[in-house]
Structure formats: structure tokens, C-alpha cells
Amino acid sequence: MSHQNLGSLPVYQKALDLCTLSRELASFVTYNKNMLTLYQSQSLRDHIADSLLTDAVLIPQQIARAETSDSISDRMKSATFIGIMIRNISAYINGLEQDGVREKEYLHLLRREIRIFRRSFKKWRRSIAHYNKHSETWNFREYLG
């Protein structure tokens, strides 16, 4: 799939939505309003927000990487990596809640966005796994002659 087609891929659109909402939440809950220097902050909340942003940005990048790769192994690695980042983002939301973020509705919105993304992600991941299974079978049969 080419980069022009990524925009039409539902999982990629959902990843961008997740990224946007993560950026808005991070901007809202941080003490340091300069998003590029959050990692330098002494605040736990700023560090959590920085990690949230980092993982949210990496998800669409990993989808693009998988979609443009000819390597099945790379595609599966990207899918695994995305799964880890989704779990991380959920943990970051819990961390923000424990750090005392009062605006619970924003945390609930991001949790909802994660659920929506996860449904789309599972379908996409199955399509990669399905493709993977057929390719391995074909290669094995080809090898047997």
C-alpha cells in the first residue's frame, strides 16, 4: 500500500484521532505548556504526558511502516509494537488519574478513543496475520517443489 492510500485505511485514521486527542489531553493536564520540553520537567504529570504523546505519535508511524513494508516479519513486529503502545497509553491514563487529574471526562474520552482504536486495530492485525499465514504456506509448498 502506498502512502497516498494510508488516509483511506480505517486503522490509520483511528490512530490519527487517538494522536490528536492524546495531544489535546497532554496539553490540558500538563503544568509545562511547551510540549517539546515536557521531558525536562520535574513533574511526574509532565513525564506521563510526554510518554503519552510519544507513544500516540508512534502508532500511526508504525501502521505506515507496516503498510509500506514488503517484509511480513516487519509488519508483524509493527503490529506487536502497536499493541504494547496501546497498553502503555492505558497505563498513562491510569497514572494521570492517580496523579490527581480532576478533569475525569478527558481521561474517559481518551479511554473511549482507545477502545475505538483497538477494535479497528484488531481487524487490521488479523488481516496482516491472515496474509502472513498464506504467505508462509505458499513459501513452504514452493520449497517442497
Question: Is the per-residue pLDDT at 13 higher than 80?
Answer: yes
Provide the pLDDT confidence category of residue 37 given band limits of 50, 70 and 90: confident
The residues near 17 (Cβ < 8 Å, ≥ 6 apart) are: 113, 116, 117
Question: Average pLDDT for residues 13-40, to the nearest whole number?
Answer: 85
Count other Cβ atoms within 10 Å, centred on residue 31. Answer: 11
Report d(CA 35, CA 40) in Å as an integer: 10
Answer with the residue of higher pLDDT: 31 or 106: 106
Structural domain total, the chain: 1
pTM of the model: 0.82
State the pLDDT at residue 38: 72
Among 38-42, 54-58, 79-83, which is the least confidently predicted range?
A: 38-42
Domain boundaries, position 116: 3-144
